[in-house]
Structure 1
């Protein structure tokens, strides 16, 4: 399949997203606009002047001038980046049908500034579309990435986990388990979550029979009577480290724990899509 050049205005008009998708995209867009500068801006490499054929996904987009878009992209080797898609809002632009969320893309761009210029975009395929509750979960993943991943900070392993998670959601695997696994991977890959198998204060192995709290900055320690943080069993911590959520107690405790840890690392910023999920699905 040939790549679509960014300023090409030929082609058919893409189908418009549903009302629900429009509202959720707006939620992500508003969150992204406010939160894009929140994570620390770490650049692991000099900004490349030209990149071709990079795997990536659109996390959200927002209008830029009269006919263009700014797209927030999660790429495999360059992390989360901002691209200007010139002419993408024109009625006959082929990019309207390509720059969609949850679609695997091959992207090419150029430029040295923080917002680079999209040169070409090609739909790669290989993923089933997200529908119904899975679509809501997908927007939740995107909001987490926008708010917790710094720009220009590569996370190849997290990118691969994102692709796996989209596949799991598309195949209707249990959403609570899939989301807990992604949340945990996100915090680990961004360097804000440590090992759940050892108590940080004593360096002793976590005991499955004991109760613990997790210090968001340090890790697990034995629970105390005065603690207000969520209490979880040692078994839950060990299950989470093994990505084993088969136990219903582990599912319940991990949900509360991850909500607490995410709230801390978000610095109080609300997760709009999570509230929708809580209201609709109690995830």
Structure 2
């Protein structure tokens, strides 16, 4: 039974037996995995503080014959979410990252681009700036999951969208012109539409220096989260928590 190694992001853990933990983690090379970390609650040498959700670590694990769960042997921290200050908003944003990845990604399916996305947004997610990386993450996840048609054109008729006429609804992917909006449509502001076009062409670090109050991109986040929830066929608990925090 060969031991494999890969850079990974811890998604969540839950206890099993007396000192073991089941760990959901997303690896760069092998996709999302679920494994058992034996004696994880007792062994600081093998795991230490690396089991906090959204920890980026080097993981060593082995696939076991006829077993769904891998054997997780060790995690070595590369970047911990606790290395920066934590407040309720930042903690909930990190929880949303983990929830989306766990619910949206199939197991054992390498997703290099998604892995690079989560590592890049984690670097930008601070107490002072939680909303920009959140907006970037949910928008790009809709793109990478194939849920985002060309947002420069109306999904229904293909006509070029114009500033001030862009709409979306909870029951269909993409954006629509005013002619093809349905009765439940919501407006996507001109600022958010232009922002989405820019975000799809630039790395997350390009937006790091911009002022980003909570309301900026709020409708864009709602549009992207609706698309993700429709695909996953469930409401995101962390999304509801963010809504309460945002007021």
Distance 2:80 2:155 in 1: 42
Distance 2:170 2:102 in 1: 24
2:137 alignment counterpart? 182
Matched, 1:203 2:168: no
Distance 1:130 1:51 in 2: 35
1:12 alignment counterpart? none
2:77 alignment counterpart? 123
**What SS does the corresponding residue of 1:257 show, helix, strand or coil?**
helix
Long gaps (5+) in structure 2: 200-206
Question: Normalised by the size of structure 1, how large is the TM-score?
Answer: 0.70
In the superposition, relative to structure 1, how do residues 76 and 242 fare at CA in structure 2: closer, same or farther (>3 Å)? same
Matched, 1:150 2:110: no
User: How do 1:69-218 residues align onto structure 2 when only pairs under 5 Å count?
Assistant: 69-90=21-42, 94-112=46-64, 113-125=67-79, 128-132=83-87, 133-170=89-126, 172-173=128-129, 175-213=130-168, 217-218=172-173
Residue among 215, 226, 229 paired with 1:260? 226
Matched, 1:273 2:238: yes
Return 216-225 or 245-254, whichever deviates more.
245-254
* RMSD over aligned Cα atoms: 2.9
Offset of 1:95 from its aligned partner? 2.2
Long gaps (5+) in structure 1: 1-48
Residue among 55, 66, 69 paired with 2:18? 66
In the superposition, relative to structure 1, how do residues 55 and 258 fare at CA in structure 2: closer, same or farther (>3 Å)? same
Residue among 170, 193, 199 paired with 1:237? 193
In the superposition, relative to structure 1, how do residues 201 and 136 fare at CA in structure 2: closer, same or farther (>3 Å)? closer
Question: Alpha-carbon deviations, 1:91-137, whole Å to 9, x = none?
Answer: 76642433222322111111154311113222224873351132221
Question: Normalised by the size of structure 2, how large is the TM-score?
Answer: 0.79
Return 67-76 or 201-210, whichever deviates more.
201-210
In the superposition, relative to structure 1, how do residues 77 and 206 fare at CA in structure 2: closer, same or farther (>3 Å)? farther
**What SS does the corresponding residue of 2:175 show, helix, strand or coil?**
strand
Distance 1:226 1:200 in 2: 12
Return 224-233 or 115-124, whichever deviates more.
224-233
Distance 1:177 1:247 in 2: 6
Distance 1:247 1:57 in 2: 26
Number of equivalenced pairs: 232
Distance 1:228 1:101 in 2: 36
Offset of 1:151 from its aligned partner? 1.6
Offset of 1:77 from its aligned partner? 1.9
